[in-house]
Chain A
Amino acid sequence: DIVMTQSPLSLPVTPGEPASISCRSSQSLLQSDGYNYLSWYLHKPGQPPHLLIYLGSNRASGVPDRFSGSGSGTDFTLKISRVEAEDVGVYFCMQALQTPTFGGGTKVEIK
């Protein structure tokens, strides 16, 4: 299995400030087609998870442009340019190159 490692586990944030979450995979997620099969999700309390970023850096429909994804191969980052109160929840990454596996999650909360 491809192991996904996220950091930090918990991220206290100040509204208006930037935030960054790291996701590392035990194997490269870059395919010969040029795509990184890495996606990011947000699981807000009381709601189902929803897709933020797919193929490493593409924002899903309706996702605010303060969210961005970057990275390639084994190292990926989700950035929030200016955190808003509604961004609290658990963020997780997922690889789909093999049997999908997930990062352990990063809990974002307001300071």
Chain B
Amino acid sequence: QLQLQESGPGLVKPSETLSLTCTVSGGSISSSSHFWGWIRQPPGKGLEWIGNIFHSGSTYYNPSLRSRVTISADTSKNQFSLKLSSMTAADTAVYFCARASMIRGVISGVDPWGQGTLVTVSS
């Protein structure tokens, strides 16, 4: 059974860079049928797609975050990572990693998701 688990700091200072890692077990991130994404949910607000990485290593970022986001993958560790720079209080959120299935390059569904990790931005 495929499982994803986020790891990283729960507290980040303003202006710093957030680094999160998603460890995948029970399957390979090299699968050509899927890609791997990051999604976040600020407290009391809706979900926001951050971006994703394909098995080829190519990436897609939400235009609203593109200037601050980097997603990368380490196939040897079966992990993919998120870096979000210039953090502010508005970036406080639960961050989820997830696997997306696709048809003709478009997401058909997102499953499974990691448990999510709360990241708070505060000095």
Interface residues of A, Cβ cutoff 8 Å to B: 31, 33, 35, 37, 39, 41, 47-51, 54-55, 60, 92, 94, 96-97, 99-105
Contacts and interface: CB of A to CB of B under 8 A. Distances in A.
Contacts, number: 61
Given A92-B47, A99-B62, A105-B46, A48 B113 contact: yes
Contact of B108 (A48, A50, A55, A104): A55
Interface string B89-104: 0000000100011011
A35 to B, nearest CB: 7
A41 B112 contact: no
Nearest to A99: B62
A54 B106 contact: no
A101 to B, nearest CB: 7
A64 to B, nearest CB: 15
- Secondary structure at the B interface, as helix, strand, loop or mixed, is strand
B109 A51 contact: yes
Contacts of A51: 109-112
Nearest to B37: A100
B113 A100 contact: no
Range of interface residues on B (Cβ < 8 Å): 20 to 34
Contacts of A103: 46
23 contacts: A33-B103, A35-B106, A35-B108, A37-B107, A37-B108, A41-B110, A50-B111, A50-B112, A50-B113, A51-B109, A51-B110, A51-B111, A54-B108, A55-B109, A92-B46, A96-B100, A96-B106, A96-B108, A99-B62, A100-B49, A102-B49, A104-B46, A105-B46
A37 B100 CA distance: 13
B114 A48 contact: yes
Nearest to A61: B111
